[in-house]
Chain A
Amino acid sequence: MAVKNRDAFVVVDIGDAETKATLVQRENGVYRLMGTGEAETTLDAPELDVTIGICRAVESLRKFGGRLLGEEGPEGVRLLCSSSNGGGLYMMVASVISIISGESAQRAALGAGAHLVGIFSKDDPRPEYRIIENMRDTRPDMFLLAGGTDGGAFNQVLEMASIIKDADIKPRFGSDYRLPVIFAGNIEAREKVAEKLTELYATRAVDNVRPVIERENLGPAKEAIYDSYMEHVITHSPGYERLAKWVDGPILPTQAAIGRMLYTYAERRNANLLAVNVGGSTTDIYSVYRGVFNRSLDAELGLTYGAMNVLKTVGIERIERWLPEAMDERKIRNIVGNLMVLQLEKFSTDERLIIGALAREVIRIGAEEHKKLASRLKGITIRRTIADTFAQSLEPTYLDMGDTQVIIGMGTAFDGSLGDATMLLLDSLEPIYLTELYIDRAGLIPHAGMLLGEAPEAAFSVLTGETLLRLGTCLIPAGKGEGEAVKINLRRQDGKTSDESVNFGEIKTLPILNGETCKIEAISGKGLNLGKGKEKMLDATVTGGALGLIIDARGRPLKTPDKKNTIKRWAEVLSPAGSR
């Protein structure tokens, strides 16, 4: 095997359909993305070997760095890999109390990039035999059992372990290995839980996800999930055993790599961050608020395989409301149906409009679901004072659109024009006050996330230099008003100033170059608030994006207008901004 260059990385992400490889290398002390290559994922017949697709994807990088991958593995580079094929990591979680240890277990599993296929607890209203049935019928890749604080609930933890034992759960793939079960509950119950489960499952115990009621400790459970994923799950897919010998470090679930990158980015910027990833069949929401990371997943809601499920969930009216022109219900339903059954690669204008409407709804649902999980720890007794009544720390969710500095859009939903991508984020998430909007234009956030552990500078070089595109900073007053909604004085770095105003119900962009910073003084109109109180002035420094500075004065909560012309007019403000 060739000597590895410690400063050259081939990073591969294996998706359901596509394997994407990148070459990142240090030149003159600076990490650069040399190129990217793609090939079809080869997990299925006739190839049945995931390394074939990797070799093909890496082969297209040859022009950037010569031969990088041979029969024995990487040549002169370090190989890092994430994977989401087969729908990702399917996990079940069980606990004693659903809103306490149950939510902590969910956060650990989702944070590790899992797709939850079963959530169980001792306070589950379903009869025990139904729980057992459900466990048996849904074959996961892994199980996480939590419950009890350290020194707390004991018998209930063992009862849940008994249920898991009785269910004799088989793993999703491979009949020749035992399902990994990670116990991250009451430390005093470890031995007894192991006694119950070791015969049937590959068990391991890690530190409690909820050692005390007031504190969560998700790190050890997440690490155990990664280890079990590598040791037990992924090696049972065709070709992964070979791949495991090639890689420098563990193969992570793609969603875990994304989560790591987003968390580190938010921490480095000292910002609150919200990111959405809308795919064909799932919608992921990631958030980092005041240093707390959360991820939630809406399985079965997406823009191709999950499109009809979105329509079924939200109803036709919620799709119709986003369309700039009236469209026959049958036509809408047929288009949505065809998105699912045909998986088109090119879209007509009507199809694009409906995809946009579905995306708005699916992000909206995802954000609502995310709020439930991204919340302060439940089960803690809080003494409220009058001052606390107004404090954000006691809000049921961390999600605060008025304190969100960064929003990132990922996935196929953002493949259209920059204007469409911007409107999609504004309409679905309804940010308020000042927020920077970004999209993952090259789909390389997983790759950046894999680089984090080995070369953080390389990760940030890929993230900020190659894949994150700032659409613009948005200035958005909250509330309802009329007439002049925002009056703004813009001072550029060269000292030039300009005054602008935007009426209620309008969107406007001010031309600030991408990366240019300006000082603004903005006053909201009657009934409106820019975060400093109604009709108060906001002083801030803003950074321009591809669309400049965007002022969205349509009011919050956003009300979709009855007149279709207004939707059309809104879309037209940003649509000439062109494509990526």
Chain B
Amino acid sequence: MPRYTAVENNIIIRKTRRLPTVGDVLVKLCEIVREDTIIARGRVRNPELVEVRVDQRIGVDPYNLSGYMLKAEGNAVKKDEVIAIRRSFFGKSTRVCRSPIDGTIEIFSKSSGKVLIRGEPLPIEVKAHIPGKVTELLPGEGVVLECKGSIARGVIGLGGETHGFIESLVDAPDEALTNGLIDKTHAGKIIVGGSFATLEALRKAASVGAAAVVVGGVDEKDLTELLGYELGFGVTGQEKIGLNLIVTEGFGANPMNSEAFQLFKEHRGRLACVDGTTQIRTRMLRPEVIIPS
């Protein structure tokens, strides 16, 4: 059975908001923040890594390369900057090796003559995600935020974090969410359906710019259509499908649990902070909708 509680009403919600690296925390202790307040900024490792065969470029044996290197491990380099040079015949014949990118020399292998250059770090920022009060500072990393509110958890979600105002489009938890119920006025909204969302409804929601759809069930086949690939393992959060999706009960048509449906109905028009990130096995992380009081 799932190791999580589907709905928790009127509780103190604590969220740790942390950079995946060391950076600058931009808020103060006890500060009141909005859901879109930037909490911290930092720079993360660039996944771009370029290999340069410096030994071949300047025509020396790898074991003798050190004497020709102008840059060492950890040095920043600019695109086209010379990183190694070999002069011979009293300077009349010169061979150079230039960096193909802006970045940092990450590895210089004396045995293979290879240099690996990592692209410049990428800027990253962490937002509050929920409105609340900063109750703890995590120096160089982020903060712990606290607010009162309710949480509804789903079983699987797509997409990362978003927020918007709740719009319940069905009257009963066993009612399906169809594309006819969705229009342009739902742009930026958190659309709540009942038992099932059709593929057309999900596409319509994305096309009108809805922030998220929360629904009891979807067909796995529709999810595959929407994603363009089969899900495989239950690890999500990085999908780019134009909206976030929270499935509260499971695949297929499943009436939304009454507690969750009631919660959304009662809070129609209120702010909801949605996180579709799911990691079923490793961290038992389930997608959630937070409704701050």
Residues of A within 8 A of B (CB): 127-129, 132-133, 158-159, 162, 166, 281, 300, 305-306, 308-309, 311-312, 329-331, 333-338, 340-345
B250 adjacent to A330 (CB under 8 Å): no
B230 adjacent to A312 (CB under 8 Å): yes
The 8 Å CB contact of A343, one of B1, B50, B217, B247, is B1
Return the chain B residue nearest A313 by Cβ: B232
Given contacts A162-B109, A306-B233, is CB(A341)–CB(B280) below 8 Å? yes
B112 adjacent to A128 (CB under 8 Å): yes
- What are the interface flags for B200-239 relative to A under an 8 Å C-beta threshold, 1 for contact and 0 otherwise? 0000000000000000010111011000001111100000
B51 adjacent to A309 (CB under 8 Å): no
What are the residues of chain B within 8 A of A345 when measuring CB–CB?
1
B234 adjacent to A159 (CB under 8 Å): no
A341 adjacent to B233 (CB under 8 Å): no
CB contact list, B243-287 vs A, under 8 A: 247, 250-252, 280-281
Given contacts A132-B116, A166-B107, A341-B280, is CB(A308)–CB(B231) below 8 Å? yes
A341 adjacent to B155 (CB under 8 Å): yes
Can you list 9 A-B pairs, Cβ within 8 angstroms, ordered by A? A129-B116, A308-B230, A311-B230, A312-B231, A330-B221, A337-B250, A341-B155, A341-B234, A341-B250
**Nearest CB in chain B: distance from A341 CB, A:** 4
Q: How far is the CA of A309 from the CA of B280 in the complex (A)?
A: 13
What are the residues of chain B within 8 A of A166 when measuring CB–CB?
107, 109, 116
A305 adjacent to B1 (CB under 8 Å): no
Return the chain B residue nearest A309 by Cβ: B232
B67 at the interface (CB under 8 A from A): no
What are the residues of chain A within 8 A of B221 when measuring CB–CB?
329-330, 333
Residues of B within 8 A of A (CB): 1-2, 49-51, 107, 109, 111-112, 114, 116, 155-156, 217, 219-221, 223-224, 230-234, 247, 250-252, 280-281
Q: How far is the CA of A340 from the CA of B114 in the complex (A)?
A: 44
**Nearest CB in chain B: distance from A512 CB, A:** 41
From B1, B224, B233, B247, name the one whose CB has the most chain A CB atoms within 10 angstroms: B233
B109 adjacent to A129 (CB under 8 Å): no
Q: How far is the CA of A523 from the CA of B220 in the complex (A)?
A: 50
Q: How far is the CA of A133 from the CA of B49 in the complex (A)?
A: 9
B251 adjacent to A333 (CB under 8 Å): yes
B252 adjacent to A342 (CB under 8 Å): no
Return the chain B residue nearest A130 by Cβ: B49
The 8 Å CB contact of B219, one of A133, A334, A341, is A334
From A166, A312, A334, name the one whose CB has the most chain B CB atoms within 10 angstroms: A334
Please provide the 8 A-B residue pairs with the shortest distance between their CB atoms, ordered closest to farther.
A337-B251, A334-B252, A334-B251, A333-B220, A337-B220, A312-B230, A129-B51, A341-B155
What are the residues of chain A within 8 A of B114 when measuring CB–CB?
128-129
What are the residues of chain A within 8 A of B224 when measuring CB–CB?
333
**Nearest CB in chain A: distance from B290 CB, A:** 20
From A128, A308, A340, name the one whose CB has the most chain B CB atoms within 10 angstroms: A340
Q: How far is the CA of A546 from the CA of B59 in the complex (A)?
A: 74
What are the residues of chain A within 8 A of B251 when measuring CB–CB?
333-335, 337-338, 341
Given contacts A308-B234, A341-B234, A342-B250, is CB(A162)–CB(B112) below 8 Å? yes
Return the chain B residue nearest A305 by Cβ: B281
Return the chain B residue nearest A280 by Cβ: B281
Return the chain A residue nearest B224 by Cβ: A333
B230 adjacent to A305 (CB under 8 Å): no
A305 adjacent to B107 (CB under 8 Å): no
The 8 Å CB contact of A305, one of B217, B223, B233, B250, is B233
Given contacts A166-B109, A305-B233, A343-B280, 11 further A-B contacts (CB under 8 A): A129-B50, A129-B114, A305-B234, A312-B231, A330-B219, A330-B220, A333-B219, A338-B250, A338-B251, A341-B155, A343-B2
A340 adjacent to B280 (CB under 8 Å): yes
**Nearest CB in chain A: distance from B280 CB, A:** 6
B232 adjacent to A305 (CB under 8 Å): no
Given contacts A133-B49, A337-B250, is CB(A158)–CB(B111) below 8 Å? yes
**Nearest CB in chain B: distance from A303 CB, A:** 13
Q: How far is the CA of A308 from the CA of B231 in the complex (A)?
A: 7
Return the chain B residue nearest A329 by Cβ: B221
**Nearest CB in chain B: distance from A125 CB, A:** 14
Q: How far is the CA of A340 from the CA of B233 in the complex (A)?
A: 8
Given contacts A127-B51, A306-B233, A309-B232, is CB(A336)–CB(B220) below 8 Å? yes
**Nearest CB in chain A: distance from B83 CB, A:** 16
A342 adjacent to B155 (CB under 8 Å): yes
What are the residues of chain A within 8 A of B252 when measuring CB–CB?
330-331, 334-335, 338
**Nearest CB in chain B: distance from A345 CB, A:** 6
A281 adjacent to B112 (CB under 8 Å): no
B111 adjacent to A162 (CB under 8 Å): yes
What are the residues of chain B within 8 A of A309 when measuring CB–CB?
232-233
B156 adjacent to A308 (CB under 8 Å): no
Q: How far is the CA of A111 from the CA of B241 in the complex (A)?
A: 43
What are the residues of chain B within 8 A of A329 when measuring CB–CB?
221
